[in-house]
Structure 1
Amino acid sequence: MEGYPQLASLMGTYPILSIYRRFSVLNARNLLYLQAELVDLEQQLKDYTLEDIQSGDRERKLHARNWYFLSRVPDGGVSCAQWYTMLAIRGKLKEYNECLLQQRQLAAFSAPDPGNLAFLNSWLADPRQGNHTLEGLGGNLWRDDPKDLLVVAPNLVNDSFARLVQNRLLQYYHNIINVRFKAPSDVERQLYHYQEETVLRLADTIGTVVSALLPILAVVVLYCVQNMWARLGLVALFTVLFSLVLSWVATGKRIEVFAATAAFASVQVVFVGSTAV
């Protein structure tokens, strides 16, 4: 296979590479036009409603209060303008609401991971893979407008520390070990595929180890330092460092980070006071 069938096979096999255009500008423009049409129809409805109310015809005056007379006006007559305008508004309003909901759903899609997008562009340019077989205006959209792209599969690696593990440690592991000593996981395409769940578990493990070692390091350093002013300075330093590490590594809320930091500072103060006595 080549061209679109080959690219579709890749995207279907690896959903994290199912990257498409969001068409944000076109969707916004379409909504603006629909909105303008509805505003115009709304004004027409107001005008026709006022005409019916001010009319000398008894049945036309009842249009504002009796739906039966409004919906059963003679075809082609002047008195049917209000009802036909309302029918036009009903269809246009349904189209507008559907587009608005679709726009909201599109906005909920995640942007593609930069590493996956870079891989897709390199795959498209690789003579052994895509080899620039896509032609026309749609052949370079993954490179021309990266800010307007979305990925169908949700991005599980969504915190800064996990992304660091994915983009740095995993890259080192891939270049040093996998490329040299292991065969590709996808032999047909010569691709190495890493599960996002594995990256998350590795990030959680490293974060847990770092969070556990920092309090131990603080206790050891405070035990070795005898000067009280130096100890208080180290308490402040370790507290700030603990807060930064926790907010970067953990995915908890700010109040949780604040509570953990306060508890860590309290433990240090108690330890300094007990050793001073």
Structure 2
Amino acid sequence: MLEMEMSPEGYPRLAALQGTYPQLGIYRRFAILNARNLLYLQAELVDLESSLNEYTKEDGESEDSRIRLHNKNWFYLGRKNDGVLGSQWHTMIRLRKKLKQYNQCLFQQRQLATFDQPEAGNLEFINEWLADSRQGNYALEGLDRNVWKDGKDLLVVPPDTLVGDSFTRILRKPLTTLYHKVWGRRRGRTDVEGGICVYREKIVIRSADMIGTAVASLLPVLAVVALYCVREMLTRLGMVALFTVLFSMALVVTTSAKRMEVFAATAAFASVQVVFVGSTTI
């Protein structure tokens, strides 16, 4: 919008775009770097753990009765006036700091794993926006300029409302493109200054639901017609198996039904076909 148009080229204008349209908040996940960092922290902890165990054993076997109390009495373990740097307590202090870093990184990795991948249409748009001389104008000149063009190791900040619906996700881009060409383009742009059209997800969801319902309703009819037209019994039985598999796959793709629900519906569908085959002759 106006704030985006008034922003200087480069990071300020790109930030204005992503701030205005959260679904364009697409960034690098840095999965390999995060994993490498965890591996290094893990290696440091393993090394410190080994040292701690050695110092603990040495303290327990020491000829000095006061040092032997390190494993039994906090007062003696925590005293600093006897302390060599390479001691049990000093090693534990180092471990404590490193453990905090390691645990924080683990939780961050767990959180990063919950982020969705960017929608293909939004990623394509941001690349087009960056290349548009009236918008991004190839203003980024650093090594990060190809982050979105490469399209790898990316995440999107806002949660994807369709992440659990694979069928709708598949149809989202082609349906949005079709809607834009047939109707949306005539309606005009949502952001005239930025040349951006924004559509609500419910349009895609409603269209995908209609298509999924049509497919699920059409399969039983097609099965009956095909079975009626085939004469050979072996061929009929083979078609029963084929339509049963197609029906189960359609349920998995177009619905969010659980496995037991899919199994029950598929079994009922197969039974109806078998009864039809047994009761019809040509």
TM-score range, shorter chain: 0.7 to 0.9
- Deviation for aligned residue 1:225: 6.0
Q: Which residue does 2:101 correspond to in 1?
A: 95
Q: 2:255 aligns with which of 230, 250, 258?
A: 250
Q: Secondary structure at the match of 2:40?
A: helix
Cα distance in 2 for residues equivalent to 1:225 and 1:138: 61
- Deviation for aligned residue 1:274: 4.2
Equivalent residues of 1:231, 1:272 under 8 A apart: yes
Q: Are 1:69 and 2:69 an aligned pair?
A: no
Q: Which residue does 2:223 correspond to in 1?
A: 218
In structure 2, relative to structure 1, the CA distance for the partners of 1:25 and 1:221 (3 Å cut) is: closer
Structure 1, unmatched stretches of 5+, are none
Q: 1:18 aligns with which of 11, 25, 41?
A: 25
Between stretches 4-13 and 217-226, larger displacement belongs to 217-226
- Deviation for aligned residue 1:74: 1.4
Cα distance in 2 for residues equivalent to 1:39 and 1:224: 70
Q: Which residue does 2:190 correspond to in 1?
A: 185
- Deviation for aligned residue 1:61: 0.6
Equivalent residues of 1:74, 1:80 under 8 A apart: no
Cα distance in 2 for residues equivalent to 1:229 and 1:52: 81
Q: Are 1:112 and 2:113 an aligned pair?
A: no
Q: Which residue does 1:60 correspond to in 2?
A: 67
The one-letter code sitting in structure 2 at the alignment partner of 1:42 is E
- Deviation for aligned residue 1:98: 0.6
- Deviation for aligned residue 1:62: 0.7
RMSD after superposition? 2.5
Cα distance in 1 for residues equivalent to 2:121 and 2:279: 50
Q: Which residue does 1:266 correspond to in 2?
A: 271
In structure 2, relative to structure 1, the CA distance for the partners of 1:272 and 1:11 (3 Å cut) is: same
- Deviation for aligned residue 1:189: 1.4
Equivalent residues of 1:16, 1:151 under 8 A apart: yes
In structure 2, relative to structure 1, the CA distance for the partners of 1:31 and 1:225 (3 Å cut) is: closer
Cα distance in 2 for residues equivalent to 1:238 and 1:50: 69
Deviations 1:77-112 (A, max 9, x none): 339821111111111111111111111211221121
The one-letter code sitting in structure 1 at the alignment partner of 2:98 is K
Cα distance in 2 for residues equivalent to 1:171 and 1:178: 9
Q: Are 1:140 and 2:146 an aligned pair?
A: yes
Equivalent residues of 1:73, 1:79 under 8 A apart: no
Q: 1:209 aligns with which of 211, 214, 222?
A: 214
Cα distance in 1 for residues equivalent to 2:102 and 2:52: 17
- The TM-score normalised by the length of structure 1 is 0.87
Aligned pairs, number: 274
Q: Secondary structure at the match of 2:27?
A: strand
* % identical aligned pairs: 60
- Deviation for aligned residue 1:240: 3.0
Cα distance in 2 for residues equivalent to 1:231 and 1:138: 59
Q: Secondary structure at the match of 1:150?
A: strand
The one-letter code sitting in structure 2 at the alignment partner of 1:256 is E
Deviations 1:154-209 (A, max 9, x none): 22333442133212232122223322x22012223111112223212221221112
Q: Which residue does 2:54 correspond to in 1?
A: 47
Cα distance in 2 for residues equivalent to 1:256 and 1:230: 28
- Deviation for aligned residue 1:229: 5.6
- Deviation for aligned residue 1:68: 2.0
Cα distance in 2 for residues equivalent to 1:140 and 1:237: 46
- Deviation for aligned residue 1:233: 4.7
Q: Which residue does 1:200 correspond to in 2?
A: 205
Cα distance in 2 for residues equivalent to 1:47 and 1:247: 56
Cα distance in 2 for residues equivalent to 1:254 and 1:71: 58
- The TM-score normalised by the length of structure 2 is 0.86
Cα distance in 1 for residues equivalent to 2:94 and 2:239: 73
The one-letter code sitting in structure 2 at the alignment partner of 1:84 is H
Q: Which residue does 2:11 correspond to in 1?
A: 4
Cα distance in 1 for residues equivalent to 2:17 and 2:145: 15
Q: 2:162 aligns with which of 137, 157, 169?
A: 157
Q: 1:241 aligns with which of 234, 246, 251?
A: 246
